[in-house]
Structure 1
Amino acid sequence: MATVYFDEATRRYSKDGAPAVDHVTLDIADGEFLVLVGPSGCGKSTSLRMLAGLEPVDGGRILVDGHDQKGVRPRDRDIAMVFQSYALYPNMSAAQNMAFALDNSKVAKAEIRSRVAEAARILELEDLLDRKPGQMSGGQRQRVAMGRAIVRQPKVFCMDEPLSNLDAKLRVSTRSQIAGLQRRLGITTVYVTHDQVEAMTMGHRVAVLRDGRLQQVAPPDELYDRPVNTFVAAFIGSPAITLVDAPVRDGRADVHGLEVPIDRSLAGAAGERVTVGVRPESWRIVPESDPEGIDLTVELVESLGSESFVYGRRGPLDPADDAPDTERVTIKTEKRVPVAVGETVRVRPVESEVHVFDGSSGERLVG
């Protein structure tokens, strides 16, 4: 196990272009499961490859257990990489794939057999050790790739979107296996994904990247409840948060005609406009007579069995209108709240759960 520290780490693919990873500073604790998440091209895989030694560090440094990794070859870093594509040798059995790196390192045969057997037991691969990759399912191949990393007994696991090739049901079961495995082994793990559900359910902490820059690092609950800016607020959470550009008058923000009070400590920091964010579960359907509500016309209802998501908008439905509409709102409802497309519902937000961001910078306003 090991600590990992990104110290202003930077990667440029060209002198004139924007950095792929831009002065990222990130401290990863011994035994921590940290997830790097963000949209495509944000620098998360590049950051992982820099740690593994597969990409150079053009500025700053990366330390493992306090030791600068500059000039250290990938094979000498004691870091095991699990790739998106599995990268198994098709002509070798599962056992041979798992033992390959140990064979190359001249580990004793008895020690190799012991490590492979232990990894197979942990990953429930004992009956598959003689099979070749072509005779296994995607989930089984992924577990073999995990086993190949485990037998090395590395200081750090690097996992680059290892579940993206699996179907939805298999992703759910495999991610729980990976999280449980990391807890048992206690190995420092850096995990890359574009799937924010994976990030929120697997990581001790989640680091959100955008255009090569680190936006926020926090435990999943904090990331969801206190996003530092509108980008993090919009990226984390499914369905996405409703963000409304709202003018401020007398300490109140006008959200679609609904006046939302702004905390007095925020009113001074806010300019003439703020961005107000309300998550789906923070809206309440209220009686038509409620003076503090706003009316929405229901456009779509997504029923998930135990709950539903209602997508509504201000004003009547217009079938010809497919352009983005800033007046659309997403509401989470319970199973027994009947709502149909075309109906009008009156809603208002829970004031204590409203997020307020600066209208210009998008940064969270903190009182």
Structure 2
Amino acid sequence: MATVYFDAATRRYSGKDVPPAVDAITLDIEDGEFLVLVGPSGCGKSTTLRMLAGLEPVDDGRILVDGHDQKGVRPRDRDIAMVFQSYALYPNMTAAQNMAFALDNSKVPKSQTKERVAEAAKILELEDLLDRKPGQMSGGQRQRVAMGRAIVRQPKVFCMDEPLSNLDAKLRVSTRSQIAGLQRRLGITTVYVTHDQVEAMTMGHRVAVLKDGRLQQVAAPEELYDRPVNTFVAAFIGSPAITLVESGVHDGRAEVHGLPVPLHREVAGVAGERVVVGFRPESWRIVPDSDTEALQLRVELVEALGSESFVYARRGDGDEDGPDAERVTIKTEKRAGVEVGDVVRVRPVEDEVHVFDAASGERLGS
């Protein structure tokens, strides 16, 4: 186990006129922590991971593992185990041989290698598959073999680069719980890359959100959801996505499609002339038709998910190019009785309103 510290670490692929792929990231990862790097494609998350593993150079800044600068340290000497998206198994070797390969190359005694492979196979429920080759295994089984290959090395740090993206949806859910449970059991510092924000929110002790090579926010999943630092994080974290509406500010109130929304005193005191107001799906309440001052919406789509439903609705006549085209997403109970074409009236939960500066996108208030 080990601590990891990114100290203004930067990676450039081209000349000075091109923005860095990873731009001066400073990030402190605790011993035994499961940290997830998440963001859209091209944001620099995989490059950040590869810099830690020694597969990409650090052009500026530095990366420390247990306080030791990794500059000039070869990947094989970093005591970091990498799990790739593509599994990267040798097709002509059995599962046991794939798992033992790195140990054999390091001249670990065969008895010790056999013991480590057997222990990893037991943890990953691979005992009946050790004699099979990758072509005889499912995607989930191959991914577990790749995990086993990393485990037997007993590294200081696990680096995982989108290891579940090749699996189907059902297998992804079960495998991510296995990985999270495995990390808790082994206590090995883990840096995990994904583009799937649901994966990030359900697996990580903390989540680091990247955009265009820059770190936007690092926090526990609940804090990212409840207190995003800017509109990018607010929009990226959460499914279905948050509803963001730009509004003017008058007398301490914003206006959402004609509905006045009071702002907290601390927010109203620092807000400029325009703000962006955000509402999570669960922060809307459907109110009786008699509440004529509530926001009136026409339902376009209902996603019934069994225990709950998500209602997508718009104000106005549904013209997507019109001035009132912004869609509002509302979470409802299982039997809310809302159907496509219905007209509903809604109000936001005032204590759950997110407010951001319209110019900078930065969060206003706590």
Q: Would you call these one fold, judging by a TM-score over 0.5?
A: yes
Deviation at 1:268, TM superposition (A): 2.0
Structure-2 residue corresponding to 1:357 = 356
1:323–1:45 distance in 2 versus 1, CA, 3 Å: farther
Q: What SS does structure 2 have at the residue aligned with 1:308?
A: strand
DSSP-derived class of the 1:159 partner? strand
Task: Write out aligned runs for 1:122-271 (5 A).
Answer: 122-271=123-272
In the alignment, which residue of structure 2 is the partner of 1:298?
A: 299
Tell whether the 8 Å contact from 1:317 to 1:342 is kept in structure 2 after alignment: no
Secondary structure of the structure 1 residue equivalent to 2:111 = helix
Q: Can you list the C-alpha shifts for 1:271-298, whole angstroms capped at 9, x where unaligned?
A: 1110000000000000112254100000
**Within-5 A mapping of 1:324-335:** 326-335=325-334
- SS state at 2:35 partner: strand
Query: Contact between 1:244 and 1:326, CA under 8 Å: does it hold in 2?
Result: no
Once the two structures are TM-superposed, the CA of residue 324 in structure 1 deviates from its matched residue by 10
Residue 10 of structure 2 is matched in structure 1 by: 10
Give deviations 1:144-180, integer Å, cap 9, x for gaps. 0000000000000000000000000000000000000
Superimposed CA distance per residue, residues 17-49 of structure 1 (whole angstroms, 9 cap, x where no aligned partner):
110000000000000000000000000000000
Spell out, residue by residue over 1:47-105, the C-alpha distance to the aligned partner (whole angstroms, 9 max, x if none). Answer: 00000000000000000000000000000000000000000000000000000000000
Does residue 73 in structure 1 map to residue 74 in structure 2? yes
Partner of 1:347 in structure 2?
346
Q: C-alpha distance in 2, partners of 1:121/1:324? A: 60
Structure 1 unaligned segments of length 5 or more: list them.
none
Task: Give the aligned length.
Answer: 365
Give how far 1:316 is off.
Answer: 1.8
The residue number in structure 2 matching 1:30 is: 31
Secondary structure, counterpart of 1:162 in structure 2: coil
Contact 1:292 1:348 in 2 (8 A): no
Contact 1:293 1:347 in 2 (8 A): yes
Runs (5+) with no aligned partner, structure 2: none
The DSSP-based 3-state class of the residue aligned with 2:217 is: strand
TM-score (norm 1): 0.98
* In 2: Cα distance, 1:6 partner to 1:291 partner: 54
TM superposition score normalised by structure 2: 0.98
CA contact (8 A) 1:6 1:26 kept: yes
Deviations, residues 201-224 of structure 1 (Å, cap 9, x unaligned): 000000000000000000000000
CA distance in 2, matches of 1:128, 1:237: 38
CA contact (8 A) 1:4 1:63 kept: yes
Q: Cα deviations across residues 310-337 of structure 1 (Å, max 9, x unaligned)?
A: 000001234xx47997521000001110
Spell out, residue by residue over 1:244-289, the C-alpha distance to the aligned partner (whole angstroms, 9 max, x if none).
0011001100111010001112112111110000000000000112
**Percent of pairs with identical residues:** 85
2-structure distance, mates of 1:338, 1:101: 59
Equivalent residue for 2:49?
A: 48
The amino acid of 1:365's aligned partner reads L
Partner of 2:112: 111
Match of 1:337 in 2: 336
C-alpha distance in structure 1 between counterparts of 2:318 and 2:225, whole Å: 31
Q: Secondary structure at the match of 2:329?
A: strand
- Matched residues in 2 for 1:291 and 1:313: separation? 17
Check conservation: 2:316, 2:324, Cα contact below 8 A.
no
1:333 and 1:106 map into 2 onto residues whose CA distance is 60
The one-letter code sitting in structure 1 at the alignment partner of 2:333 is E
Which residue in the other structure is 1:62 paired with?
A: 63
Q: 1:311 to 1:123 in 2, by over 3 A?
A: same
Provide the rounded CA distance (Å) in 2 between the counterparts of 1:17 and 1:111: 49
Q: Secondary structure at the match of 1:191?
A: strand
Question: Aligned partners of 1:241 and 1:221: how far apart in 2?
Answer: 15
Cα distance in 2 for partners of 1:136, 1:102 equals 23
